[in-house]
Structure 1
Amino acid sequence: MTATDNADWWRGATIYQVYPRSFQDSTGDGSGDLAGITARLSHIASLGVDAVWLSPFFKSPMADMGYDVSDYCAVDPMFGTLADFDALIAEAHRLGLKIIIDQVLSHTSDQHPWFVESRKSRDNEKADWFVWADPKPDGAAPNNWLSVFGGPAWEWDSTRRQYYMHNFLAAQPDLNFHNPDVQDALLETVRFWLERGVDGFRLDTVNYYVHDRWLRQNPPLAEAAAGTLSETNPYLYQYHLFDKTQPENLDFLKRFRALLDEFGARASVGEVGDEWRSLQTVAAYTEGGERLHMCYTFDLLGPAFSPAHVRGCVEAFETAVADGWICWAFSNHDVMRHVSRWTATGGDLDATAKFSIALLASLRGSICLYQGEELGLPEAELSQEELRDPYGIRFWPAFKGRDGCRTPMVWEAAKPYGDFSTAKPWLPVPENHLARAADAQNADANSVLHHYRRALAFRREHPALVSGAIAFLDAADDILAFTRSVDGETLLCVFNFSPQPATWPLPANIGAALPLDAPGNGEIGEGEIVLPGFGFSFARLG
């Protein structure tokens, strides 16, 4: 049974993230679109995934690449039409793929009609739909809250003579979730897409929805107060106790889940950005079956790459979250591609890519892939002049932004722009990506692309990897070893994080390790497993 055969299809599912502007251009304007995605769905289906997550395609001024929505129920002309979306849904379902769409509910664009009305006066119908506050007597902002994108989280509006709150760009005002009318309106936009046949939602910045009613000050981190913190972004100098992750959010998530449950087998995955309490937040948001189906955090989306780090993240989740569920990912549209994060200078990108998907496909939880990682695409090196990401532009050169992971997909090595478009793309297509194009890798049985297909097929074939329990085994510094078990089947998974060969002696109490037809490159010997550098091995315990 695959993940798509039952109402709990999301539990243990493999999700493939598409960044629409960079997947496939069907119109020759240099930007990807919905019709382009539809034309390439067969590639996604060939990987053996269960669902496709589409980053925002809603009507937007694109100040933050679509995460600033001006109409929740319309497709931006850049991406096509509602008819194009309906065609995408139909083709995805024909291929056995679920469709998950991004919902950006914490904030809108400053061009959304709701905000345009809200800022007109203090007594109009939508005056309280956003977070407005009076200045301090000296004209300063209401408190010390900061924007993730740099500077204060408050912007002065001369018409209302008040400040409005924005956790991100000033062009992204925060909605006031303390107003029940706001919640009702947002849930109606969710219903709109459910009625069009979507199978689930990825909730952007899900713990940012509700703010503290009393606008209390965030305290500084102890390291910041002591002058020992050296983060590039001042946002990371505070304990964010009051500007996000408020208890009232749980009530809204219950309402959201109740709406999804009206439509049967639907799913939700929340993005939790909580620097020091992410697991507690995941637990609160997913336990009990009445809020979100699952969440993901940034624990495995950073530079740390070691057996201790992976084991620590997984065991911490297993300990903190009783009956909730997590979605693991190594790459997405907000972070440097993992083969670049985890490959030493001059290292073997293919080896890192193959190792990574073997590990990801073995973890307990649902898993999410980001477009292009199945080709082993490294992070693109862009100049300052080529950047489009407001976050990268703001923090250049200490931080180069998120455009390096958002460059176009490469489909055919010999065609201009990798066959992404017939026109110059909105972001460059790096030369070193063309050699990794999908057509070249389809022709090579040893490619990263074929390895992804084998690894995901192996996961689907073994229920222990999809839904089984996980238990870690003691191992040397560079070795990660664990078992996955369900319904009488126990699989042994062993990974060598070092570029040097290594051996792992089988513990006497685990029984015989029986070789499997698996995408591993280690050898099972008498009482030990021999692993090459960045090697991995799977066995059935008998």
Structure 2
Amino acid sequence: MSQPEQPWWRGAVLYQIYPRSYLDTNGDGVGDLQGITRKLDYIASLGVDGIWISPFFASPMKDFGYDVSDYCAVDSVFGTLDDFDRLLNRAHGYGLKVVIDQVYAHTSDQHAWFTESRQSRDNPKADWYVWKDPKPDGTPPNNWQAVFGGAAWTWDARRQQYFMHNFLPEQPQLNVHNPDVQDALLGTARFWLDKGVDGFRLDAINFAMHDQAFQDNPPWDPTGRTITRPFDLQRRVYNQSRPEVPGFLERVRKLTDEYGDRYTVAEVASDDPLPTMRTYTRGDKRLTAAYSFDFLYAPTLTAKRVRRSQGNWVGSIEEGWPSWAFSNHDAPRCVSRWYDGAERPRFARLTNALLLCLRGNPILYQGEELGLTQVDVPFEALQDPEAIANWPRTLGRDGARTPMPWKRAAPHAGFSSVEPWLPVGPDHPDLSVGVQDEDPDSVLNFTRKLLEVRRGSPALRWGDVEFVDGPVSLLTMIRTCEEETVTCLFNLGAEPVEIPESADLCGTVLSQTGSTIDLQARTMPPYTFVILRR
């Protein structure tokens, strides 16, 4: 019996593009939409199912596009709406789906909505943002802290009130409790759906609503934790993950369902994200998937961590569907975070193979297919406001946002003809697409082969998952569907391991780390993997 037809997004692999750093075509040192369009043939050659493009909307760029001043306009640094239409049409011509960010928790302080809202307490948009009177002593309304440091409140002299911001002061908090705000946000979503986009990543969506009683957040014991900002000293129970958010998400889902199969994935960053992720994706009336942070800031990669994270999403589809990333534009690249040895390409093959074997939606971050390393950006070259404000205690985001390397011998590795907005990693030209394209054993060509394996395997795309016990560093996953069974073994440690007799090694090898694994001897060298189909 064949599997029932699946929606396109279930098990799909997405390729995340940070447009500022992909390809600069107009010589200003910043990537643009035309740069993405120019490289769609390369993206299609990877074998991914679609792309997710980080924000390219009109913005003063205080937080590099996550401070939106017009949801329905393209910022001039990235191009025009016509450029986006051409990108979308060409991507669809390659069979690639296109997912874009939507930022519903806040706007830029230069958005027309906020410009009107701050003028008075009785204008038509007076209640579109979160305003609150000061305490009698003039201090902010409560103790809520902003992600980037300092109080989550800024005084506005025109209204004689504080406005709330969970991030920068230039990112005022939308009052998504207000039905008119919800209507306006859904209107912007419809604008992009009418153009033909295939889905949305909802940025920081658990920040979209706040406790309307404005209660103080309780303190959080810092013992055993790294503290880089006051935000880390609170349990954020009143300014995020509020119980009213799912009602708005049901409105989002109702809208996207008008357009057929559309992928809607929630970004949920919190102290205890799993219950919120389940709530946002449960059933068929909310979002289709949740974006997991389990690996993005993890200091180590262990079999226990993978089993715990993947094990949270092994039930029926009705419980929700996970999306996985090991690296992104906010987190240090995993090959640098998890490995500090001489065989980084080997480790990159291991992590890419593991990501592509997980049940859910793997999301490859640009350059991950090359095994790019994290760049140590000096303080004087930093652009990230969080990194600058909290230097040197924060991880910073710039080191994962550096330009994509295309050609070894070209200026700035082929990214731009001028000095780019962030420096090219010193080892990145040698890891460039041009170099790896010519090497059949490169991380790039290995990743292409792995994507082909996943694309041809119903078990890997949407099958069930279970685990086999074994040595601490050995991860053994069994992916099954009615058509096939795939066994995936990963030695995530620095020492050889024996494969237990309980792991069935029968079947055809779909992929492995070179030819170094002796299955008959049931041993695996360090940082190796094998994938078998039976």
TM-score (norm 1): 0.95
Structure 2 Cα separation of the partners of residues 347 and 270 of structure 1:
37
**Secondary structure, aligned partner of 1:269:** strand
**Secondary structure, aligned partner of 2:476:** strand
In the alignment, which residue of structure 1 is the partner of 2:360? 365
- Letter aligned with residue 339 of structure 2: T
Alignment check: 8 A CA contact 2:267 2:291 kept:
yes
In the alignment, which residue of structure 2 is the partner of 1:155? 154
- Report the Cα offset of residue 93 of structure 1: 0.4
Q: Are positions 1:272 and 2:272 aligned together?
A: no
Residues 186 and 144 of structure 1, relative CA distance in 2, 3 Å threshold: same
Structure 2: any 5+ residue segments left out of the alignment?
Answer: none
In the alignment, which residue of structure 2 is the partner of 1:18? 17
**After superposition, what is the alpha-carbon deviation per residue over 1:303-334, rounded to whole angstroms, capped at 9, x for unaligned?**
13111111111113336985310001100000
Alignment check: 8 A CA contact 1:56 1:102 kept:
yes
Match among 348, 371, 374 for residue 376 of structure 1? 371
Q: Are positions 1:57 and 2:34 aligned together?
A: no
Q: Are positions 1:98 and 2:94 aligned together?
A: no
**Secondary structure, aligned partner of 1:11:** coil
More displaced, 119-128 or 399-408?
A: 399-408
- Report the Cα offset of residue 235 of structure 1: 1.1
- Report the Cα offset of residue 364 of structure 1: 0.6
Q: How many residues align?
A: 530
Residues 309 and 511 of structure 1, relative CA distance in 2, 3 Å threshold: closer
Q: Are positions 1:348 and 2:360 aligned together?
A: no
In the alignment, which residue of structure 2 is the partner of 1:216? 215
Percent of residue pairs identical = 49
- Letter aligned with residue 434 of structure 1: P
Q: Are positions 1:249 and 2:245 aligned together?
A: yes
In the alignment, which residue of structure 1 is the partner of 2:228? 232
Structure 1: any 5+ residue segments left out of the alignment?
Answer: none
Q: Are positions 1:324 and 2:323 aligned together?
A: no
Match among 396, 408, 411 for residue 413 of structure 1? 408
**Secondary structure, aligned partner of 2:309:** helix
In the alignment, which residue of structure 1 is the partner of 2:179? 180
Structure 2 Cα separation of the partners of residues 316 and 454 of structure 1:
28
Match among 275, 286, 303 for residue 307 of structure 1? 303
Alignment check: 8 A CA contact 1:215 1:242 kept:
yes
Alignment check: 8 A CA contact 2:471 2:498 kept:
no
In the alignment, which residue of structure 1 is the partner of 2:111? 112
- Letter aligned with residue 202 of structure 2: L
Match among 385, 391, 396 for residue 390 of structure 1? 385
Match among 482, 488, 492 for residue 487 of structure 2? 492
Residues 220 and 133 of structure 1, relative CA distance in 2, 3 Å threshold: same
Structure 2 Cα separation of the partners of residues 482 and 35 of structure 1:
41
In the alignment, which residue of structure 2 is the partner of 1:465? 460
Structure 1 Cα separation of the partners of residues 504 and 137 of structure 2:
73
Structure 1 Cα separation of the partners of residues 532 and 123 of structure 2:
66
**Secondary structure, aligned partner of 2:314:** helix
Two-structure CA RMSD over aligned residues (Å): 1.7
- Report the Cα offset of residue 233 of structure 1: 2.3
**Secondary structure, aligned partner of 2:319:** coil
Structure 2 Cα separation of the partners of residues 6 and 259 of structure 1:
23
Match among 232, 257, 275 for residue 261 of structure 1? 257
- Letter aligned with residue 74 of structure 1: A
- Letter aligned with residue 397 of structure 2: R
Match among 474, 477, 482 for residue 472 of structure 2? 477
Structure 2 Cα separation of the partners of residues 44 and 376 of structure 1:
16
Alignment check: 8 A CA contact 2:459 2:483 kept:
no
- Report the Cα offset of residue 423 of structure 1: 1.0
**After superposition, what is the alpha-carbon deviation per residue over 1:469-512, rounded to whole angstroms, capped at 9, x for unaligned?**
100100101111110000141111110012233221331xx655
Structure 2 Cα separation of the partners of residues 529 and 461 of structure 1:
27
Residues 156 and 360 of structure 1, relative CA distance in 2, 3 Å threshold: same
- Report the Cα offset of residue 540 of structure 1: 2.7
**After superposition, what is the alpha-carbon deviation per residue over 1:141-164, rounded to whole angstroms, capped at 9, x for unaligned?**
111111000011011111111000
Structure 1 Cα separation of the partners of residues 28 and 380 of structure 2:
20
**After superposition, what is the alpha-carbon deviation per residue over 1:254-282, rounded to whole angstroms, capped at 9, x for unaligned?**
00000000111211111110112x11111
**Secondary structure, aligned partner of 1:361:** helix
Q: Are positions 1:525 and 2:519 aligned together?
A: yes
Structure 2 Cα separation of the partners of residues 400 and 340 of structure 1:
12
**Secondary structure, aligned partner of 1:164:** strand
Residues 90 and 322 of structure 1, relative CA distance in 2, 3 Å threshold: closer
In the alignment, which residue of structure 1 is the partner of 2:531? 538
- Letter aligned with residue 525 of structure 2: P
- Report the Cα offset of residue 519 of structure 1: 4.0
Structure 2 Cα separation of the partners of residues 310 and 407 of structure 1:
28
